[in-house]
Structure 1
Amino acid sequence: MRVDYSPESMDRRSFYHLLTAVVVPRPIAWVSTLSADGRTANLAPHSFFTVASTDPPIVQFTSVGRKDSLHNVEATGEFVVNLASEPLLAEINATATDFPRDEGEFDAVGITREPSLKVRPPRVADSPVAIECVLHATLGLGDSTVVFGRVVHVVVDEDTLTDGRPDIGLLRPLARLGGNEWSTIGDVRELARERYKERD
């Protein structure tokens, strides 16, 4: 037996919890931005995140509501996606707090920053990957805004590379599940795609 759910018969928050419990696991964009005056460095996790295009390279994250990350990206046109890795779970969760806009999460949580190469927002020094982006476009959808960033630079910690490629076991990315649940990478299975002409 299946259970039916309809957004028309449920309140918005309950349906949101349903969607985020079944659209899993979700990679996390740990987004760093700068305020318009350049004084405050914001850092916040966004679990609606993926690659949007490969040529040109574009990544996207969604701001549910008008959060500081969105305000800053609209004002400055730049942001950095820092990989949310397992050793940084406590810090990532701490930056999800609704700090006042003029209080930067780097300083409030005690996260070490480093300069980016192509954009002004800083990178998280302890994150194994940073994707530097300039704003490509935004798209408003209901109560949310999808932010598209053109990738202008990527930096990867050499300790997470195997044969010159990022190693998932060394990156140790986190993902969001439903409620307050998080997941680690768990078992990794490798299976090559079949070509149509090679099928039986």
Structure 2
Amino acid sequence: MSHYHYSADQLSQKQAYKFLTGAIAPRPIAWISTHNLETRVTNLAPFSFFTILSSRIPLVMLSVNRRPDGTPKDTARNLLAAQETKNETARTAGVIHIVTPELLSAMNQTAASLSFTDSELELLPDELQLLQEKDAPLAVENAKIRFNVRPFQHQLLTDRSDLPMTDIFYLEVTDFYFDETVFDAKREYILTEKLAPVARLAGNDYSHLGLLETLRRPD
């Protein structure tokens, strides 16, 4: 078997991104809403550098790359501001929506680069309903699964020149919301096939749920 070989220290950032996102796939999508208390703007943006960290404390990880000038993106800025307040009574700093096929087009629209004074909510189609919970950012009510989250820990990654590169957030899930069509309340079980989560691939591609295979773990 022959392989193409690339040394990482010889790659451009674009090449590294293409190789990583093409190989590490599919990736779950965190479509997260956050609110800026100063501008009073609610941001809604998708991120596919997202995964589970812990269940002892329900934690998820969200990685938000910095802009080329080293400044944080709106979502990261809002989460950082929420962490800095250190208000233990504030249960929700963001709402993560799990993306399903009927939300895919709307989610894609919110990936547009907007000014920090503009809200991606303005890009949503009229058929999507927004939900305002107490002390929480606006949420997309049509989402079949939502997690309310707040910062647990934050880590700023810097490059080899000590310039800001990536904001990594360890987010505590404070509340889980499941639509009755995708949740077996008796067994407390998520119905994956009915949920049909959409995942991110490379480039402009997304993946839909396909064949499911069950394998029992060895004893």
Q: 2:111 aligns with which of 96, 103, 114?
A: 96
- 161-170 vs 40-49, which moves further: 161-170
Work out whether residues 109 and 123 of structure 2, in 8 Å CA contact, stay in contact via their aligned partners in 1: no
Shift of residue 112 of structure 1?
A: 2.5
Distance 2:77 2:16 in 1: 26
Aligned residues: 194
Shift of residue 86 of structure 1?
A: 1.2
Shift of residue 37 of structure 1?
A: 2.7
**Which residue of 2 is the match for residue 172 of structure 1?**
196
**Which residue of 1 is the match for residue 162 of structure 2?**
none
Deviations 1:78-121 (A, max 9, x none): 1111111111111011011011111111123244211236x521
SS of residue in 2 equivalent to 1:31: strand
**Which residue of 1 is the match for residue 73 of structure 2?**
67
**What RMSD in Å do the two structures reach over aligned CA positions?**
1.5
Deviations 1:106-162 (A, max 9, x none): 123244211236x52122111101100111111112311111111110100011123
Work out whether residues 106 and 112 of structure 1, in 8 Å CA contact, stay in contact via their aligned partners in 2: no
SS of residue in 2 equivalent to 1:136: strand
Distance 2:168 2:209 in 1: 26
Q: 1:132 aligns with which of 120, 123, 148?
A: 148
- 151-160 vs 72-81, which moves further: 72-81
Work out whether residues 53 and 60 of structure 2, in 8 Å CA contact, stay in contact via their aligned partners in 1: yes
Distance 2:123 2:104 in 1: 16
Shift of residue 190 of structure 1?
A: 1.3
Distance 1:59 1:157 in 2: 20
The answer for unaligned runs of 5 or more in structure 1 is 196-200
Distance 1:125 1:6 in 2: 46
Normalised by the size of structure 2, how large is the TM-score?
Answer: 0.84
**Which residue of 2 is the match for residue 198 of structure 1?**
none
The answer for unaligned runs of 5 or more in structure 2 is 67-71, 84-92, 159-164
Opposite residue 9 of structure 2, the aligned amino acid is: E
SS of residue in 2 equivalent to 1:34: strand
